[in-house]
């Protein structure tokens, strides 16, 4: 529809076809047409008037000198998931002929300099995927005071009331824990990385806690395993020996969980590898009769993840799937609406649900 408007098939002030006609033209469902029109309306391309129809408002084409210039700041990361968020934002930017720049650094201290530099060079707005330890609250408070458009994506600074697009992390933590409880588990651990200041992680743990309490189980902080994976070395194959292996065994022997919730894809992948190594290490003793299987052989896993696993362990019983592309696209739509003033109300918090899948 945007291409047809740009080509002046429908000129400013003219009616576009009815929803029924568009369903026929594009051979898609009515809900798809409605969503497309909603997006065009948010961008100020069309005006839907009750009882009259839908009209084209202003020309969409912009000269190169008028192109919006936007940036995506990506905080310290080596993992694939943030790049799926970036791709979602890029896809929307391309649809609207937006000039798009990616900036980022492994050094938290450089964030202020990089963000200020792109603003001084004429950037109109920024999508921010914050650095894990959230070190630059003052920077974003200042941008907010200056009414500079920016949107936090995936996680956010709790004390900066900015536009944000996040997953329903609390609901994901709750639903996975509830599924494990319904499967008969009462000793359920949850495994984050050490980055517990991130709002997405905190909200997932909060959902886990609420599920336990709602179902009459005590919330035990000893089952929040902050010390197993202090970090994951992306350059080291997960099947190699790591200090985390021994920490995991100690935790299992001490706390005796029957199920574990993995906070994200990377933790789940490492857990499956480590549990496999533990089982394999005990197999010879089991075969020759000098040992027995440990408690880890009966541990069920549930995970929050941005994708399915190539080799899913039979112990994996549930997933909460998050689409980074959807998150990035919604963040770009929100930023464009804010810049073009089709969104003028106070800071928006867009919450995207995850898809809960029970496996096996």
Question: Is 11's pLDDT higher than 60?
Answer: yes
- What pLDDT, on the 0 to 100 scale, is given for residue 231? 66
349: left (phi over 0), alpha (psi -120 to 50) or beta: beta
Q: Pairing relation of β-strands 316-321 and 355-358? A: antiparallel
**Collapsing DSSP states into helix, strand and coil, what is residue 25?**
helix
As a 3-state breakdown, the chain gives helix, strand, coil percent values, each rounded to 5, of 40, 20, 40
What number does CATH give the domain 64-167+324-353?
3.40.50.2300
Backbone angles phi, psi at 190, to 5 degrees: -130, 135
- The residue-averaged pLDDT of 210-229 equals 95
Q: What is the DSSP pairing of strand 150-153 with strand 125-129?
A: parallel
Burial profile 305-336: b = 16 or more Cβ within 10 angstroms, e = fewer: bbeeeeeebebbbbbbbbbbbbbbbbbbbbbb
Residue 347 has pLDDT above 60, yes or no: yes
Most trustworthy range by pLDDT among 48-52, 65-69, 104-108, 229-233: 48-52
Each residue's pLDDT tens digit, 156-203: 999 999 999 999 999 999 999 999 999 999 999 999 987 778 999 999
Q: Quickly name the fold that domain 2-56 has.
A: Arc Repressor Mutant, subunit A (1.10.10)
Q: For residue 185, what pLDDT is reported?
A: 96
* Span(s) in the chain for CATH 3.40.50.2300: 64-167+324-353, 169-321
Q: How confident is the model at residue 326 (pLDDT cuts 50, 70, 90)?
A: very high
Q: Which of 80, 151, 156 is nearest to 324 (CA)?
A: 80
Which of 216, 210, 222 is CA-nearest to residue 176? 210
* Model pLDDT, residue 282: 56
Given a cut of 80, is residue 297 above it in pLDDT?
no
pLDDT band at residue 286 under the 50/70/90 scheme: very low
The arithmetic mean of pLDDT across residues 210-220, rounded, is 97
> What is the C-alpha to C-alpha distance for residues 305 and 303, in angstroms, rounded to an integer?
6
pLDDT at residue 66 in the model: 64
pLDDT number for residue 232:
57
Token pair for 333: 């739509």
Q: Which fold has domain 169-321?
A: Rossmann fold (3.40.50)
Q: Which pLDDT value is given to residue 237?
A: 46
Confidence of residue 59 (pLDDT cuts 50, 70, 90): low
Looking at per-residue confidence, does 290 or 165 come out higher? 165
Question: Residues spanned by CATH 1.10.10.10 within the chain?
Answer: 2-56
The model's pTM is 0.77
Task: Report yes or no: 322 and 280 within 8 Å, Cβ to Cβ.
Answer: no
pLDDT above 60 for 40:
yes
**Does 224 score more than 70 pLDDT?**
yes
How confident is the model over 42-54, as pLDDT tens digits?
777 888 887 888 9
Report whether 88 contacts 153 (CB < 8 A). no
Question: What is the rounded average pLDDT of the residues 296-322?
Answer: 89
Task: Evaluate if residue 348 carries a pLDDT over 70.
Answer: yes
Who wins on pLDDT, 6 or 266? 266
**Of all residues in the chain, what percent carry a pLDDT higher than 70?**
89
Residue 22 has pLDDT above 80, yes or no: yes
Residue 68's pLDDT band (cuts 50, 70, 90): confident
């Amino acid at each position: 529809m945007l291409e047809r408007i740009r080509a002046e098939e429908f000129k400013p002030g003219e009616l576009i076809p009815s929803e029924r006609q568009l369903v026929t033209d594009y051979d898609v469902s009515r809900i798809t047409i409605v969503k497309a029109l909603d997006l065009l309306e948010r961008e100020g391309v069309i005006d839907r008037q009750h009882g009259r129809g839908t009209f084209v408002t202003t020309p969409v084409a912009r000269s190169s000198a008028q192109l919006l210039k936007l940036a995506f700041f990506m905080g310290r990361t080596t993992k694939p998931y943030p790049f799926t968020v970036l791709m979602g934002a890029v896809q929307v930017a391309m649809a609207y002929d937006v000039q798009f720049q990616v900036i980022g650094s492994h050094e938290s201290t450089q964030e202020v300099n990089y963000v200020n530099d792109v603003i001084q060079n004429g950037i109109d707005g920024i999508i921010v995927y914050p650095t894990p330890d959230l070190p630059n609250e003052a920077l974003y408070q200042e941008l907010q005071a200056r009414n500079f458009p920016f949107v936090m994506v995936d996680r956010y600074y709790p004390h900066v009331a900015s536009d944000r697009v996040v997953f329903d992390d609390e609901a994901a933590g709750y639903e996975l824990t509830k599924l494990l409880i319904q499967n008969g588990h009462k000793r359920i651990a949850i495994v984050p990385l050490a980055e517990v200041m991130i709002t997405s992680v905190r909200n997932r743990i909060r959902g886990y806690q609420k599920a336990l309490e709602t179902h009459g189980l005590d919330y035990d902080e000893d089952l929040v395993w902050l010390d197993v994976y202090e970090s994951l070395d992306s350059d080291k194959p997960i099947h190699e020996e790591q200090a985390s292996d021994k920490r995991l065994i100690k935790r299992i022997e001490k706390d005796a969980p029957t199920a574990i919730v993995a906070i994200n894809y990377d933790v789940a992948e490492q857990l499956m590898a480590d549990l496999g190594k533990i089982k394999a290490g005990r197999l010879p003793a089991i075969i020759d009769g000098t040992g027995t299987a440990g408690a880890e052989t009966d541990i069920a896993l549930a995970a929050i993840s941005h994708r399915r696993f190539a080799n899913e362990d039979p112990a994996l019983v549930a997933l909460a799937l998050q689409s980074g592309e959807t998150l990035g696209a919604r963040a770009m739509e929100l930023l464009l609406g804010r810049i073009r003033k089709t969104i003028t109300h106070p800071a928006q918090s867009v919450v995207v649900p995850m898809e809960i899948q029970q496996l096996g």
